[in-house]
Structure 1
Amino acid sequence: MTVVSLTPLTVTRWWLIRHAPVHNPDNLICGASDREADTGNRAAAAALAAGLPADALWLTSPLRRSRQTAQALWSRNPRLADTAVVEPALAEQDFGEWEGISHDTAALRDAEAAARFWRNPARNAPPGGESFATVMERTAAALRRLTDLHAGRDVVAVIHAGSIRGALALVLDLTPEAALRLRIDPWSLTRIDHHHTGTGSWSVGGVNWRVGTF
């Protein structure tokens, strides 16, 4: 009888969390702007923190709302790590000259630039900013790099709607146009896994899970 030795499958588990809401009553564009998060929803933080792995590597973007949300989660569950690695490639989309103004104001300032952007908002960049397609590219590159670097670990990334959509685009082979249709709410959890076998493969455990639904 031939005995076949099976190598255990290595899986890297990603826990993608969108930061807490940003107070923005005027609906201004704040992609790369360093706005504060409203982390006052203690019930949401506690429910989300309770389901996170205790031995995970934590990542945040350079933006304050990402770091503040991570700190709120740590405060609700003492089992969790209390430090994070800042990963610039997982930041929100940079809207350039439109940061801090509304889309209506942007159109009044430069109607041609606004019309050009809205012809294909997935691939066209605002003046001085980056396109969502570019966000997808840098997010995908970061996920591949970090998955190889931390193979077999749980990785909690407290990041942004744009970068979470970019991650899902990589996993599901989505176009920029399709990825922009994904709804990613504040305080939500998205789960993806990378299976290190053959050329590697991805799977999706859940998208936009919100408090009370997982």
Structure 2
Amino acid sequence: MAERRFIVEADGGSRGNPGPAGYGAVVRDGDTGRILVEAAEYIGTATNNVAEYRGLIAGLRAARELDPEARVDVRMDSKLVVEQMSGRWKIKHPDMQPLAAEAREVFPRGRVGYEWIPRERNKDADRLANEAMDAGKAGKQWEPKVRPAAPVLATDPEPLPEPAAPKAGWGADLGITTTLVLLRHGETALTPQKRFSGSTGSDPELSDRGRWQAERAAEALAGRGTVQAVVCSPMLRTRQTAEAVAVRLGLEVRVEEGLRELDFGAWEGLTFAEVQERHPADLDAWLASTKAKPTGSSESFASLTQRVSVARDKILARYAGKTVLVVSHVSPIKTLVRLALGAPPDAIYRMELSAASLCAVQYYGDGNASLRLLNDTGHLR
């Protein structure tokens, strides 16, 4: 049996330092990124550092309850805790020493690794810590919210209507023209293996080849000299790709949540063949209808279309008359192309988009759209 891997994200806070304090922690499946356990507690008056250590301990204990033989990757936005638990910084404060020792005892030596992450990537643990402090302020202890279990397979019960297709033909005045240059992110370690990698997976970074691809895309776009703004999905691989281009162009990167990849649920990290073996009926249903969801997923292609359409409209309104680089993923880019063409929903299954490929759609003030480029990889040769 393969060794299980968990990701523990932990945080703690104190409103006063020292002051009313609480911690929060989540345990994620290491392969899919899905949250398995949430933990939080109001701990009375304490410092930020004490609360952070208490969050770490709670997260490790929760992971151990799931599988005491697992390997654990701890991710925290506390540089102090990460460096001390990694053995690079000495633990001098007497309040920290017993907490660190307690944390080390939860799993055997060598089974836990530590990584610092920025605060924006530790939102779930931060949210739980604040919920715990809010509960303490009200004279209560934190209680987990009741969350409905995710269905094995579901379709959208009342799907919203398909966004309107662009009008056919052109009038005498096309109005303001806005162009979206669509760049798929560069390769990650999962890309060559053709593994599902959505918005609830491990959020992999670019591989060496992926970084090379991002630089080639940046070079090509700089040579054209037309891009005036850069917008990207919140996933790490798209942010890294967007930043490579933005640095070359001297632009800032704006993150748009609606551009994230589809939630592939239990399929995250699996190959098509592995999904076919483990969830054959679900996969057949998903391939047969854009209203079907992957096993345990929160969304279908139909619901993805709605959020991508909202994101598109926000970008067109903010950057009217400009050329905007949009760095996203396979599903959102295919959706934008399909909508521009006015193609049926199942057309999304009939497109190929290579890593770091370019597409371009031009939008007109009268509501028309025109596909100008599809899956261009000339800059990678």
Q: Provide the secondary structure at the position in 2 that maps to 1:66.
A: helix
1:137 corresponds to: 306
Distance 1:62 1:178, change over 3 A: same
Distance 1:161 1:52, change over 3 A: farther
Q: 1:13 aligns with which of 168, 179, 190?
A: 179
> Following TM superposition, where does structure 1 have runs of at least 4 consecutive aligned residues deviating by more than 6 angstroms?
none
2:354 corresponds to: 185
Q: Provide the secondary structure at the position in 2 that maps to 1:169.
A: helix
Q: 2:220 aligns with which of 28, 47, 54?
A: 47
Written as runs of structure 1 = structure 2, the 5 A alignment for 1:86-97 is 86-97=255-266
Q: 1:201 aligns with which of 368, 374, 378?
A: 368
1:161 corresponds to: 330
Q: Are positions 1:30 and 2:200 aligned together?
A: no
Q: Provide the secondary structure at the position in 1 that maps to 2:237.
A: helix
Work out the CA distance in 1 between the residues paired with 2:325 and 2:212: 21
Work out the CA distance in 2 between the residues paired with 1:158 and 1:165: 12
Gap regions ≥5 residues in structure 2: 1-171
1:58 corresponds to: 230
2:240 corresponds to: 68
Q: Are positions 1:125 and 2:293 aligned together?
A: yes
**TM-score in terms of structure 1 length:** 0.82
Q: Provide the secondary structure at the position in 2 that maps to 1:15.
A: strand
Distance 1:150 1:126, change over 3 A: same
Cα distance, 1:113 vs structure 2 = 2.5
Distance 1:150 1:43, change over 3 A: closer
Q: Provide the secondary structure at the position in 2 that maps to 1:40.
A: helix
Work out the CA distance in 2 between the residues paired with 1:47 and 1:109: 42
Paired residues of 2:353 and 2:375 also in contact (CA < 8 A) = yes
Work out the CA distance in 1 between the residues paired with 2:371 and 2:364: 11
**What whole-Å deviation, never above 9, does each CA across 1:96-155 have from its counterpart, x for those lacking one?**
1111222333344344333333433x3321122222222222212221232123211221
Which amino acid letter does the alignment assign opposite residue 219 of structure 2? Answer: A
**TM-score in terms of structure 2 length:** 0.48
Q: Provide the secondary structure at the position in 2 that maps to 1:207.
A: strand
Distance 1:13 1:114, change over 3 A: closer
Cα distance, 1:48 vs structure 2 = 3.9
Work out the CA distance in 1 between the residues paired with 2:276 and 2:173: 58
1:109 corresponds to: 278
Larger mean Cα displacement after TM superposition, 149-158 or 90-99: 149-158
Whose relative contact order is higher, 1 or 2, with alpha carbons under 8 Å and at least 6 apart? 1
State the percentage of identical aligned residues: 28
Distance 1:186 1:108, change over 3 A: closer
Which amino acid letter does the alignment assign opposite residue 361 of structure 2? Answer: I
Which amino acid letter does the alignment assign opposite residue 27 of structure 1? Answer: K
